[in-house]
Chain A
């Protein structure tokens, strides 16, 4: 079945540091790939997505490129801020039939950014 593996946390960075959170996946088909973010006390929010190979998703300074050859979708940001402190989930979606897509999540990586 489908699976997502992302780097274990927690990750602690100083403000303005460079961030990379690794994510690799296994899937039988051609899934769409996502990064979701969960801020403290809130629900998951879509951060960015890519639907096909070599697509780059970007939002709020975060980027991730769909690499089919390495089955990866690493999340990067050039300069993190304290407000980026959250838990980040890598996920993929596959058509579960009838046009409804189920999401398979990684375990999440907790990021703490200190001033």
Chain B
């Protein structure tokens, strides 16, 4: 099946710094990627839809200036958490549908654990 990678797998940063998380589709192209946030013992919450060549679409309540998304190519989307604070600590997951399969089938990255001190 299709493979999605994320980098880094975990990161610890100081409050006030910015952190960039990469999401790559390794063996397929993705015009759309999705970014989720997962809190402990809770479900995945969709943060935004990343679109190659255009602006991301953010879900209600998600600060677009804080969570910057750039879909630079058909295989790479990045999420930058700017001026991170402890409440931003979470598990961030990306996903992407392939163009060759049904668009409602998505492949997920392994996630990035962010801890803000």
Contact = CB atoms under 8 A, between A and B. Distances in A.
B4 A43 contact: yes
Interface in A23-45: 32, 36, 41-45
B44 A101 contact: no
Interface residues of A, number: 24
A106 B46 CA distance: 12
A100 B93 contact: no
Contacts of A102: 34, 46, 49
Interface stretch (B13-21, B74-82, B105-113): B105-113
Interface residues of B, number: 25
Main secondary structure of the interface of A (DSSP, over half): strand
Contacts, number: 57
A105 interface: yes
Given A46-B105, A101-B103, A89 B43 contact: yes
Contacts of A108: 41-43
Among A46, A102, A108, which residue has the most Cβ atoms of chain B within 10 A?
A102
Contacts of B41: 107-108
Contact of A49 (B103, B105, B107): B105
Given A42-B110, A49-B105, A51-B104, A101 B97 contact: yes
B42 A107 contact: yes
14 contacts: A32-B104, A36-B108, A41-B110, A42-B110, A43-B110, A44-B93, A46-B105, A49-B104, A51-B102, A89-B44, A93-B104, A103-B44, A104-B46, A108-B43
Interface of B: 4, 6, 32, 34, 41-44, 46, 49, 51, 57, 93, 95, 97, 102-111
Interface of A: 4, 32, 36, 41-46, 49, 51, 89, 93, 96, 99-108
